[in-house]
Amino acid sequence: MRFRVVTREWWVAMAHALRQRARRRRSRFATAAGQLAAIVASADDAIVGKTLDGIITSWNHAAEAMFGYTAAEAIGKPITLIIPPDRRDEEFEILRRLRRGEAIHHFETERVAPASTPNGNAPSPRSWPASPG
């Protein structure tokens, strides 16, 4: 059996190499995250993120246009903000399935905008293909 004597210099070099590798990985991750953020921000589709408790965590510009709430108004609120009362059981079932680790495939549903729009008209529920946030 051969043993290798490891010097302090070897440990210092190893620590330096590991720090460099970690920096490169963080840089690649930051680049990829920035690209994904740009895609979501510029999408023509409403993209809404939520927690497993149904709290809105992200809201893109298309969601602002579609639902009538700004990101500042929507983030931190329950997802039921945009779900008609007669469709809320559907959302609770989706969240239950997600908590169990199940995949949810696209489905057709309805969502609502605020009680009135800036021009004073009351919006009506609209159907959209939806997938869990």
**CATH code of the domain covering residue 64:** 3.30.450.20
Task: Tell me what the pLDDT averaged over the chain comes to.
Answer: 85
Q: Which residue has the tokens 């210092």?
A: 12
- Specify the number of domains making up the chain: 2
Do 79 and 115 share a domain, yes or no? yes
Is 26 found in the same domain as 88?
Answer: no
DSSP code per residue over 34-83: HHHHHHHHH-SS--EEE-TTSBEEEE-HHHHHHHS--HHHHTTSBGGGGS
pLDDT 10s digits, 36-80: 999 988 899 899 999 999 999 999 999 999 999 999 999 999 999
Task: Domain of residue 8: give its range.
Answer: 1-42
Q: Is the pTM value of this prediction over 0.95? A: no
Residue 5 pLDDT > 90:
no
